[in-house]
Structure 1
């Protein structure tokens, strides 16, 4: 990329003052996120029915997906029947999760659930190089009941298990899933940011149509999938 758009050049003392002023806002945002997390920990919860999903080894009850953990994070991956390449946003986000063992120390597990038939879902998982455990809700109302209906519905849900009883504790979708990504936080550190037209950037900054710089599912498969790395 070549551009003549550059931040102004200043002396080191001026740069430090500007950075310190920004740091005040950054620290305030961090404290606000801490407060939001505290409120999240105080949310009530709702009891879930005894759903049966499909896994690589056949039918599995929702409570069994927890394994020996009391907490479960579920990413609902969008699925469109008959499509070779599924949602690039979902494919890109979930491709980041290659090392989830750290969740063991926090008594939690993180899995993917999709509306696609399990055989097709597992084939897609291999094609794009996904490392997470996948389950299908094609023969269950589970997806629809947690705001991930057929033909759409990506998002994140969190569940808590008490014995054989499962409770839903939290949900988000849309841009709420950004907090689970490391890509956007890294990109947002860059002088040019995401370079998308909706962003508030100085005049002359490079900007492209929204989503145009995102990697497609086929690109992700080429990098991480069966025929890639």
Structure 2
């Protein structure tokens, strides 16, 4: 029989509930702060964009048409390494989470992937890793660079609003700012051992490993979700 490397202290039910209630105060405060942040986000000004033409599965498409009739658009800008068989594992894993985004239609919105990779290569990679999102290429457009996702740059999330033929940029984030837009870390963070990454504040004896060590790699994602995958 195997045992955990370290365990939280064992206590009685009343003490556990008291400690949980104390934590819940902070959790609720964080929820209210996120509500306040969202309220401030809704009051941000916006910037009008020029017209861009991207490449989609069916050929050239104007940015205004990427909205597909919706008034709001979220784009995840997937990192791209030219001539690489496997693209960014973090981006590949992040976008693999999103398999059912039709709920956004109720909110008059759409969510797509944009990458600097040529569209044929991007779509081939999409199929290889079993990604289910709609992909577009900005390889022949300044769009990616203009919204802080240039060639050889990092990943990013951008949000846009369409008013007729006019498109406006309303919000942007990158780095850990994208965490709130996924469920992966939300689930992992409620586990007793958390992410198990060395930068985290954990009790002595808790399992820890290098940052990214437990993240699925692109090849692992392809094995799970790609053609003939196990899931």
Q: TM-score, normalised by structure 2?
A: 0.98
Task: Give me the whole-angstrom Cα distance separating, in 2, the residues matched to 1:74 and 1:2.
Answer: 43
Which whole-Å CA distance do the structure 1 matches of 2:23 and 2:203 have between them?
A: 16
Q: Could you tell me how far 1:24 is from its partner in structure 2? A: 0.2
Q: What SS does the corresponding residue of 2:154 show, helix, strand or coil?
A: coil
1:156 corresponds to which residue? 157
* Alpha-carbon distance, 1:2 to partner: 4.4
**Contiguous gaps of at least 5 residues in structure 1:** none
Give the aligned partner of residue 175 of structure 1. Answer: 176
Offset of 1:105 from its aligned partner? 0.4
Name the TM-score, length of structure 1 as normaliser: 0.98
Contact kept in structure 1, 2:116 and 2:144, CA below 8 Å:
yes
- Residue 90 of structure 1 and its aligned partner are, at CA, apart by 0.4
Residue 77 (structure 2) pairs with residue 79 (structure 1):
no
Aligned partners of 1:80 and 1:152 also within 8 Å: no
Structure 2, unmatched stretches of 5+, are none
What CA deviation, in whole Å up to 9, does each residue of 1:93-117 have, x standing for no partner?
A: 1000000110010000000000000
Are 2:215 and 1:214 aligned?
yes
1:27 correspondence with 2:31: no
For 1:2 and 1:128, how far apart are their aligned partners in 2? 35
- Name the structure 1 match of 2:71: 70
Following superposition of structure 1 onto structure 2, how do residues 122-137 of structure 1 map, counting pairs within 5 Å? 122-137=123-138
Shift of 1:124: 0.3
- The yes-or-no answer on 1:52 pairing with 2:53 is yes
**Contact 2:5–2:207 (CA under 8 A) maintained in structure 1:** no
Residues 221 and 227, structure 1, Cα contact 8 Å, conserved in 2: no
Q: Secondary structure at the match of 2:112?
A: strand
2:205 equivalent in structure 1: 204
1:181 deviates by: 1.1
Residue 16 in structure 1 maps to residue 17 in structure 2: yes
- Matched position secondary structure for 1:17: helix
Q: Secondary structure at the match of 2:126?
A: helix
- Tell me the number of residue pairs that the alignment of Structure 1 and Structure 2 aligns: 229
Residue range with higher mean Cα deviation, 219-228 or 191-200 = 219-228
In structure 1, C-alpha distance between the alignment counterparts of 2:151 and 2:123, rounded to whole Å: 18
* Contact 1:53 1:136 survives alignment (8 Å): yes
8 Å contact kept, 1:73–1:158: yes
For 2:226 and 2:180, locate their aligned partners in 1 and report how far apart those are by CA, in whole Å: 25
| Structure 1 residue ranges (4+ consecutive) displaced by more than 6 angstroms after TM superposition | none
